[in-house]
Structure 1
Amino acid sequence: MEIRQLVAEEFEVSADLGEYAFQYKLSPVERAERRTHFRPEQAWGAFEDGQLQARLLLLPLQIYIQGKPFDMGGIAGVASWPENRRSGLVRHLFNQVLSVMKEQGQTISCLNPFSFAYYRKFGWEQMTELRKYTIPVNQFPARKSFKGRVSRDTKDIALLDEIYRPYAQRYNGMLLRDHEWWERRVLDADSHDVVYYSEEGTPQGYAIYKVANRELTIEEFIYHNEVAREALWTYYANHDSMVEQAVVECIPLDDFFPFMLDNPRFKQEINPYFMARIVDAAAFISEYTFQAFEAETKLMLRIEDTSAAWNDGVWELSISPDGSGRLDKLAGSLAEAELDLAFDIRTLTTMLMGYRRPLEMYRCGRLVGQEAVVNTLERLIPVGTVYLTDSF
C-alpha cells in the first residue's frame, strides 16, 4: 500500500470514486468545473498496485475559538470502493493526515460525519448541533418600524464578510472565510442576500435566502443587534403574499427567537452536526485561554489517544493565573492514585470546544477523577457556544 497526495492527472479516477461512493452523477459541465478547482495537494489517496483504492480531502482552514483563529484541518470526501471497505485503508489515511496536520500546525480537525460511531473510532467527537425552524407565515414576528434601511441583492462579498466576522467570533467553531469560499460555498446563483444598514449607514446584519414553491428558505441569518434582527424579519414579513412558511436553517443553540414570539409553537428541530478532534493536544493548549484564577493550577492528566500517539500518555497541565496553559508530557507513568483526571482525546475536544462541560463528562463516566478536581476544571474552562454554519 502507498499513501500519498494525488497528482493533477488523477482527478478523473478521484471523481469517479466520489460519484460512486456518494451516489451522484456530475454533468460534463459540472465535472469540467470541478476539474478547474481540483487541488491535488489537498487530496490524499491509498493506492495498491498503482490503483486508487480510497481517498480523502484535507482542507487548510481556520476556525474561531474564543474569538481567535485556530488552524484547522477540514476532512471531506472520505471514500473507498466497496470491495476495499473494512480493510483498514481509511485508518491508514487518517494516520497519515493526522501526522500531516500536526506538521502543518493544524491543532484541530473538523468533519461532517456520515456516521458518528465510525469517526469516533479515530478520535473525532460531536462538537455541535443545529436548530432548524419551520414557521408558518401567520406566526412571523410582527413588522416593526425601524431607522435605517435594507438593501437586497448586494452580491458584495467584502461587505457580507465585514458583517460576518465579528458575529462569527462570538462562537467556537465558525469558519474564517476567504473570497473563494464565499463565492463557491456560500453564495450561488439561486440565492438572494439582504443587508441591514443602521441610520448612520453602518452595515449591521444580513441574511442569505431563497424563495421557491411558496417557501422562504433562510440559509444564513447574521445580525449584530436586535434592531438588525427586527429589520430583517420585517423585510421577510413583506413576503407574506408570496410564501406560506419560512424554513430557517443553521440556527445556533443559544438562539431564543421562539421565546420572543406571541406563539412559539411551530416546528423546531435539533440535529447533530459536525465533529471535531484535537490533533496536537500540547500545541492546542498553548493557544487556548482558560479562565483567569488567583493562583497557578496544576493537574496530572492521563490522555488516551489510539490514533495519534503523540497525544497519548501522562501529562502535567499547568494553568497560569492569567489563563495561559501549558501541557508537559511526563516520562514513564504515574500510579492511578497520583493522577488527577483521566479521559480520552474525544472528551478533551468536546470540553475545550465548549460543547460539553467537565461535570457532564464526569457524570456520564467519560471523565474519571475526584469530583473536587472536576469542579476545578469546570471553573477553568470558559463557557462558550459552539456553532458552525458552513459545510464541507
Structure 2
Amino acid sequence: MIIRQLQAEEFEDSLSLSEYAFKYKMTSEDKEKAKERFKPERVWGIFEQEKLEAKLMIIPFRVNIQGRAIHMGGIAGVATWPENRRQGLVAKLLSHSLQTMNEAGQLLSFLHPFLIPFYRKFGWEVYCEYKKYSIPAANFPAKTEVEGSVIRDHSDIDELNGMYRMFAERYNGTLQRDKDWWTHTVMSEEDHHAVFYSHSGEPEGYVLYKIEKGELVIDELVHLTETARKGLWTFLANHDSMVTGAALKMVPSDDILPYLLPDPRIPQEIYPYFMARLVNAKAFVESYSFNVPSRLQKQKLYIEDKHAPWNNGLWEWSISEEGKGGLEQIAGEQAQADLICGIGTLTVLLMGYKRPEEMSRYGQLTGSETAIQWFEEIVPQATTALFDFF
C-alpha cells in the first residue's frame, strides 16, 4: 500500500467513496460543479494496486487565536470502504496527515468527529461547543425602537465579512473566512440576510436566516453592539405573524439571550462540536501570548503524544517578562516532570476551553500544586467557538 495525493483524473473514484461512506448521491449538475472545485492536492489516499481504499482531505485554513491568525489544517471527508474498515487504514492516514501538516507549518488541526472516542486516541480533543435555542413566537425578544435601520438582502460579502471578522476575533478557534468560503459554504440560495446599520450608516450586525415549515431558522446572528442586537431582533420579531417560532443554531457558548427574553424558560441544547489538536506544540507555545507569572521560574512539562513524536517527551517551559513562551526539549523521564498531560489536554487548555485547575481536579493534568497554579496563572481567560462546518 502507498499513501499519496490524488490526481485530477481520480475525481470519480474519490466521489464514489464519499457517496458510499456518507450515504448521499450527487445530481449530474452538482457533480460537474464539484469537479470544477475539486482540489486533488488536498486529498490524500491509501492505494492498493492503484485502487483507492481510504482517503481524507487536509484543508488549509487560518483561525483566530488571541485575535491573531494561526495556520490550521482542517481534516475532512475521512472515508474508507466497509471491507477495509478496522484494518488501520484511517490510522495510517491520520498519522501521515500530522506529518504533512507539520511540514506545512500548520500549528493546529481541527476536525468534526463521526465518533469522538476514535479521534481522541489520535490526540484530537473537543475544543468548543454551541448552543441551540427554540423560541416560540410569543416569547420573542421585545420589539424596540432604536436609532438605525435594518436592510434585507442588500449587503455584499465584503460588508458581512467585515462584521463577522470583528465578532469572530473575540473567540479562540473561529475561522478567518475568505470570499470563496462565504460564497460556497456560508451562503446558500435559500438564505436571506439582513444587516443593521447605525444612525450614522455603519453596519453593526447581521443575521442569516430562512423560513422553513412556518419556522424562522436563524443560521447566524452577529451583533457588534447592543443596539444592533435589539434592532435585528425587532426585525426578526416582525415575522411573528408568519411563523410559530424561531430556531437558533450555532449560538456561541457565552451567549445570554435566554436571560434577556420575557420568559427565559425555552428549550436549550448544548452540543460538543469540533475537535482540535496541536500539531506542533513548541511552535504554538512560542506564538502564544501568556500572562506574566508572579514568579518567572521554569517548569518541566511532559507531553504524551505517540502519534506526533516531535511533541512527545520532556520540555522546559519558560515565560519571559513580556509574556512570550519558550519550550525547549530536554533529556529526561516523565518522573522528572512538574506537569504531565496528553496533547489533547494541552490543546484545550491553551485554547481556553478548559482551565488547568479544572483539568487537574479530574486527573487530565497531573503535577505539583505549585506547577498547576503557575499554569493557571499564565493562561489568559478565553472563550472558544466555531460557526462553520467542513
TM-score bin, normalised by smaller chain: over 0.9
The residue that corresponds to 2:29 in the other structure is 29
Hey, what does 1:125 align to over in structure 2?
A: 125
CA RMSD of aligned residues (A): 0.9
Structure 1 distance, partners of 2:248, 2:180, is 25
- 1:371 and 1:294, CA in 2 relative to 1: closer, same or farther beyond 3 A? closer
Are 1:9 and 2:9 counterparts?
Answer: yes
CA deviation after TM superposition for structure 1 residue 294, in Å: 4.7
5 Å-filtered alignment, 1:209-358, equals 209-331=209-331, 333-334=332-333, 336=335, 338-358=336-356
Which one-letter code corresponds to 2:145 in the other structure?
S
Task: Please name the residue that 2:70 is paired with.
Answer: 70
Residue ranges of structure 2 left out of the alignment (5+ in a row): none
Q: 1:146 and 1:194 mapped to 2: Cα distance? A: 16
Contact 2:293 2:374 in 1 (8 A): no
In 1, distance between residues paired with 2:334 and 2:238? Answer: 67
Cα distance per residue 1:256-289 (max 9 Å; x no partner):
1111122001110001100000000001111111
Q: Distance in 2 between matches of 1:135 and 1:324?
A: 45
Once the two structures are superposed, what CA deviation does each residue of 1:364-383 show, in whole Å capped at 9, x if it has no partner?
11111112211110111111
CA–CA distance in 2 between the matches of 1:327 and 1:19?
Answer: 44
3-state SS of 2:44 partner? strand
Distance (whole Å) between structure 2 residues aligned to residue 128 and residue 371 of structure 1: 27
SS in 2 for 1:87: coil
Report the TM-score when normalising by structure 1.
0.98
SS at match of 2:310: helix
Note if contact 1:295-1:321 (Cα within 8 Å) is conserved in structure 2.
Answer: no
Please name the residue that 1:159 is paired with: 159
- Residue 124 of structure 1 aligns with an amino acid whose one-letter code is W
What's 1:145 paired with?
Answer: 145
User: How far did residue 150 of structure 1 move?
Assistant: 0.7
Distance, in Å, in 1 between the alignment partners of 2:375 and 2:293 is 11
Measured after TM superposition, the shift of residue 48 of structure 1 is 0.8
Question: Using the alignment, how far apart are the partners of 1:40 and 1:373 within structure 2?
Answer: 46
- Structure 1 SS opposite 2:269: strand
1:369 to 362, 367, 375: 367
Matched, 1:378 2:384: no
What letter matches 1:352 in structure 2? L
Name the CA distance, whole Å, in 1 between partners of 2:26 and 2:225: 42
CA distance in 2, matches of 1:205, 1:21: 39
Q: Give the Cα separation in 1 of the matches to 2:122 and 2:305.
A: 9
Inter-CA distance 155–38: structure 2 relative to 1 (3 Å threshold): farther
Shift of 1:360: 1.2
Of stretches 72-81 and 259-268 in structure 1, the one that deviates more from structure 2 is 259-268
Partner of 1:93: 93
Displacement after TM superposition at 1:155 (Å): 4.7
Specify the alignment match of 2:387 in structure 1: 389
State the distance in 2 between where 1:214 and 1:282 align: 52
Aligned-partner Cα distance in 2 for 1:230–1:298:
49
State the match for 2:182 in structure 1: 182
Counterparts of 1:304 and 1:334, CA distance in 2 = 11
Partners in 1 of 2:357 and 2:287 — Cα distance? 23
Cα offset for 1:295?
A: 4.5
The secondary structure found in structure 2 opposite 1:243 is coil
How far off is 1:21 after superposition? 0.4
Q: Do 2:314 and 2:334's aligned partners in 1 also have CA atoms closer than 8 Å?
A: no
Native 8 Å contact 1:297 1:320 kept in 2: no
**Equivalent residue of 2:3, what SS?**
strand
Structure 2: distance between partners of 1:317 and 1:66: 20
| Secondary structure in structure 1 of the residue aligned to 2:110 | strand
Read off the aligned partner of 1:372 and give its amino acid letter: T
Aligned partners of 2:210 and 2:216 also within 8 Å = yes
Offset at residue 298 of structure 1 (A): 1.1
| Counterpart residue identity of residue 39, structure 1 | K
**Secondary structure of residue in 1 paired with 2:132:** strand
Report how far residue 54 of structure 1 moved. Answer: 0.3
Match of 1:3, as an amino acid?
I
Report the AA paired with residue 386 of structure 2. L
Aligned amino acid, residue 247 of structure 1: A
AA partner of residue 10 (structure 2): E
Contact kept, 8 Å, 2:334 with 2:340, in 1: the verdict is no
Q: For residue 293 of structure 1, report the CA deviation from its aligned partner.
A: 3.3
Q: Which amino acid aligns with 2:355?
A: R
Deviation (angstroms), 1:335: 6.4
Unpaired runs of at least 5, structure 1:
none
Aligned AA (1:167): F
Q: How does 1:73-84 map to 2 (within 5 A)?
A: 73-84=73-84
The structure-2 alpha-carbon separation of the partners of 1:15 and 1:128, relative to structure 1 and needing over 3 Å to count, comes to same
Report SS of the residue matched to 1:184.
Answer: helix
